Structure 1
């Protein structure tokens, strides 16, 4: 059955795009945005009567997909999109040929000084991505993937295997020895956990080299927070090895990553797995508070050991003429971890969850006038 596409009218400013989809009484509207495209589907009354309509557009340049939205009203659907870089586009789509159902919204049309917009040189392989992939597959028997994508697939796969190994070892030992295995958790998987946690610092460099979006500071603080607990609060104090809280924090950290890395793999491979997406943006709700609680207990258990050994404490007099009280630092750390730290982390995840899982929920707006 041939897919039906609705009439779509587009206009732009230097910063934004507005796409008006000509569908009346639309139901079940979904707009799935990526940095380079949008996939849209809905049921409604369009050019071919009441039908299911869908379309896909590959944009001329990058958009801010995280803040893209759409609004459904009685006689149209508006897709509101911000350009990643403020500039005038000579056209909406990547290819010079536009779909027959894509029209200019002349009522809102604007260009730079209402003149011609100069088109930048483009890579034809980008403009005809699907056709180029088909040609590669026909000539070579396979599709050449970008080096960055191949690296990210192997990285995420390796990290998933690492955390899966840790969980399997802990599970097998617990099945065999019962609660007696809890005290031996660090002896059995501690070295593997240290290796994989150090490897996570690669995620700080990924955004620096353009392999992922976002700021390197976010993964830096996340990875460093875990490594502070792992290396300075557990590894350096042998009396912590047998504590049950170490077993629980390893379980919590591993469960988070056993969902996160497969989700990233699915995104890299262009697969949308509904259950995996839901788990990625939901499993943190019980696990993050439990993880913060366990990390706080580990720090609290270390305070008497630090007071006894004076580890990391710098007292006067010394050649640097400075003093540092590690016990005081840990008390401040716990307060920051429990109050502002937990709030910032969980509010950030709540916003991401709302954006990702609420994408298909269009805000309804009352129809005020006929188009």
Structure 2
């Protein structure tokens, strides 16, 4: 911006700036570790082990973003934010962490790689938005790279859940069989199948929304002036 970065930040803006900055640093560290592992080791085996602690910390910390929306710090739908955050936290803890047979698969590497690059750009974008000093290249990356990264991440997520299915079915992980003292049954295997099926209606809607945002912000829809 011509006037330089905004410096008179409110306490809320200062908090959000620090939150987004540290998230950006965390995801940058994850990205760097993944990149080094793949380039040096030339394999996806061991990628999850190398980043699992950082991945769990910074993805779980994203739960705060739901609180930001609910308290009005961020003007976004808390319901949509909660859904997006919950789906990722679930994949990290409920699938990848819980089913060790998934951890060295290509699917896990795909979704981690897609998430990391997306989040480094997203949190950097938020930092620049708060101080009202947005480089065009960052804005362009924010609304362009998702075109490939979003489908890549979704593909990795589905591959990971698919790999977990036979293990969950065989072991009965997190399932509650009837009869039992509380007279309630739950089959985690079928739950994962339902989660996978939900991608069919949800992914096109979210992807379409991002495409609309891209056309609106950098799609050349500027108004002509006299």
Q: Cα 1:359–1:309, aligned 2, differ >3 Å: closer, same or farther?
A: same
Gaps of at least 5 residues in structure 2 are: none
Larger radius of gyration: 1
2-structure distance, mates of 1:174, 1:332:
32
Partner of 2:100: 238
- Please, which moves more after superposition, 238-247 or 351-360? 351-360
Aligned to 1:346: 207
State which of 168, 175, 190 in structure 2 corresponds to 1:328.
190
Which residue is equivalent to 1:155?
19
Match of 1:205 among 61, 67, 79: 67
Q: 1:46-65 CA deviation, whole Å, 9 max, x = no partner?
A: xxxxxxxxxxxxxxxxxxxx
Cα pair distance change 1:266/1:359, threshold 3 Å: farther
* Alignment length (residue pairs): 221
CA shift, 1:363, in A, is 8.0
Aligned mates of 2:47, 2:115 — CA distance in 1:
14
Distance in 1 (alpha carbons) for counterparts of 2:7 and 2:39 = 44
Match of 2:82 in 1: 220
User: Is residue 173 from structure 1 mapped to residue 37 from structure 2 by the alignment?
Assistant: yes
Distance 1:284 1:143 in 2: 30
Whole-angstrom distance in 2 between the partners of 1:315 and 1:241: 27
Shift of 1:284: 1.0
> 1:175-324, aligned counterparts within 5 Å?
175-179=39-43, 182-324=44-186
**SS of equivalent to 1:211:** coil
> Which structure shows the higher helix fraction?
2
Which structure is richer in relative contact order (CA contacts within 8 A, separation 6 or more)?
2
SS in 1 for 2:138: helix
C-alpha RMSD over aligned residues: 2.0
Tell me, what secondary structure is at the counterpart of 1:318?
coil
Give the drift of 1:194: 0.2
Contact 2:111 2:155 in 1 (8 A): no
Deviations 1:171-200 (CA, angstroms, capped at 9, x unpaired): 223333222xx2111211101100001111
Regions of 4+ moved over 6 Å: none
Structure 1 residues without counterparts, runs of 5 or longer: 1-129, 131-141, 365-371
